[in-house]
Amino acid sequence: MRFESQEQLEKYTAELKSKDRKRRVLICGGLGCLAKGAEEVFNAFREAIEREKVEAEVEKLEENPHLVKTGCMGLCEAGPLVRIEPEGILYLRVEPADVEEIVNKSLKKGEVVERLVYQENVDGEVHYWPYLKDVPFYRKQVKITLRNCGTVDPENLDDYLARDGYLALARAISEKTPDEVIEEITKSGLRGRGGGGFPTGRKWQFARVVKADKKYVICNGDEGDPGAFMDRSVMEGDPHSILEGMAIAGYAIGAEEGYIYVRAEYPLAVKHLRKAIEDAEEAGLLGDNILGSGFSFRIIIREGAGAFVCGEETALISSIEGKRGMPSPRPPYPAYRGLWGKPTIINNVETLTNVPIIMLRGADWFHSFGTASSAGTKTFALAGKIKNTGLVEVPMGITLRDLIFDIGGGIQGNKEFKAVQIGGPSGGCLTERHLDLPIDYDSLSGAGAIMGSGGLVVLDKDTCIPEVARFFMNFTQNESCGKCVPCREGTKHMLDLLQKIVKGEAIPSDLELLEETAQVVRDASLCGLGKTAPNPVLTTLRYFRDEYLDHVIYKVCPAHVCQAMREYWIDPEKCRACAKCARVCPVSCISGRPRVPYVIDQEKCTKCGACFEACPFDAITVEWRRKEDE
Domain positions in the chain are: 22-135, 157-367, 377-460, 465-554, 563-624
What pLDDT sits at residue 59? 43
Number of C-beta neighbours around residue 515 at 10 A:
19
* Residue of 51 and 517 predicted with greater confidence: 517
Q: Which residue, among 312, 330, 332, has the nearest Cα to 481 in the 3D structure?
A: 312
User: What's phi and psi for 514, nearest 5 deg?
Assistant: -60, -45
Q: What is the mean pLDDT of residues 458-479?
A: 93
Give the dihedral of Cα atoms 521, 334, 304, 533; nearest 10 deg: 10
Distance CA 500, CA 32 (A): 37
What pLDDT sits at residue 455? 85
Distance CA 609, CA 581 (A): 10
pTM: 0.90
pLDDT range class, residue 53, cuts 50, 70, 90: low
List Cα–Cα distances, 225 to 19, 308, 422, 529, 534, in angstroms: 42, 8, 11, 11, 15
Cβ(307)–Cβ(27) under 8 Å?
Answer: no
Q: What is the mean pLDDT of residues 121-125?
A: 77
What pLDDT sits at residue 629? 46
- Reply yes or no on whether the pLDDT at 523 is more than 70: yes
Distance CA 415, CA 211 (A): 59
Q: What is the mean pLDDT of residues 209-231?
A: 91
Q: What angle do CA 353, 188, 382 make, to 5 degrees?
A: 50
What pLDDT sits at residue 625? 75
Q: What is the side-by-side strand order in the sheet with 344-348?
A: 298-304, 257-263, 216-221, 344-348
Residue type, position 453, single letter: S
Instruction: Give the chain's radius of gyration (CA, Å).
Output: 28
Q: What CATH class is the domain 563-624? A: alpha beta
DSSP 77: G
pLDDT range class, residue 61, cuts 50, 70, 90: very low
- Reply yes or no on whether the pLDDT at 573 is more than 80: yes
Averaged pLDDT score across all residues of the chain: 92
What pLDDT sits at residue 378? 95
The CATH number of 22-135 is: 3.40.30.10
pLDDT range class, residue 508, cuts 50, 70, 90: very high
What pLDDT sits at residue 623? 87
Q: What is the mean pLDDT of residues 609-625?
A: 91
* Residue of 22 and 479 predicted with greater confidence: 479
Give first-to-last CA distance, the chain, whole Å: 77
Cβ(561)–Cβ(538) under 8 Å?
Answer: no
Q: Which residue, among 151, 91, 76, 144, has the nearest Cα to 382 in the 3D structure?
A: 76
What pLDDT sits at residue 56? 44
Percent of the chain with pLDDT over 90: 76
Please provide the DSSP assignment of 166-213 as one string: THHHHHHHHH--HHHHHHHHHHHT-B-TTTT--BHHHHHHHHHHS--S
pLDDT range class, residue 64, cuts 50, 70, 90: low
534 torsion bin: left (phi>0), alpha (psi -120 to 50), beta (else)? alpha
- Reply yes or no on whether the pLDDT at 60 is more than 50: no
* Residue of 479 and 513 predicted with greater confidence: 513
pLDDT range class, residue 329, cuts 50, 70, 90: confident
Cis peptide before 80 (omega within 30 of 0): yes
> Tens of pLDDT along 180-204?
999 999 999 999 988 778 999 999 9
In three state form, how does the secondary structure of 48-76 look? HHHHHCHHHHCCCCCCCCEEEEECCCCCH
* Residue of 62 and 209 predicted with greater confidence: 209
DSSP 230: H
Type and span of the H or E element at 242: helix 239-253
Domain over 377-460 is classified CATH 3.90.78.10: no
Q: What is the mean pLDDT of residues 233-262?
A: 97
User: What's phi and psi for 356, nearest 5 deg?
Assistant: -60, -40
Q: What is the mean pLDDT of residues 46-56?
A: 73
> Tens of pLDDT along 68-85?
999 999 999 998 999 999
> Tens of pLDDT along 147-164?
999 999 999 999 999 999
Distance CA 334, CA 326 (A): 14
> Tens of pLDDT along 349-389?
999 999 999 999 999 999 999 998 999 999 999 999 999 99
- Reply yes or no on whether the pLDDT at 90 is more than 70: yes
What pLDDT sits at residue 291? 95
Cβ(307)–Cβ(301) under 8 Å?
Answer: no
What pLDDT sits at residue 227? 77
Domain over 157-367 is classified CATH 3.40.50.11540: yes
Q: Which residue, among 554, 564, 543, has the nearest Cα to 622 in the 3D structure?
A: 564
- Reply yes or no on whether the pLDDT at 63 is more than 80: no
Distance CA 233, CA 544 (A): 34
The CATH number of 465-554 is: 1.20.1440.230
Q: What is the mean pLDDT of residues 337-347?
A: 96
Give CA 64 to chain center in angstroms: 36
Q: What is the side-by-side strand order in the sheet with 24-28?
A: 66-70, 24-28, 82-85, 89-91
- Reply yes or no on whether the pLDDT at 57 is more than 50: no
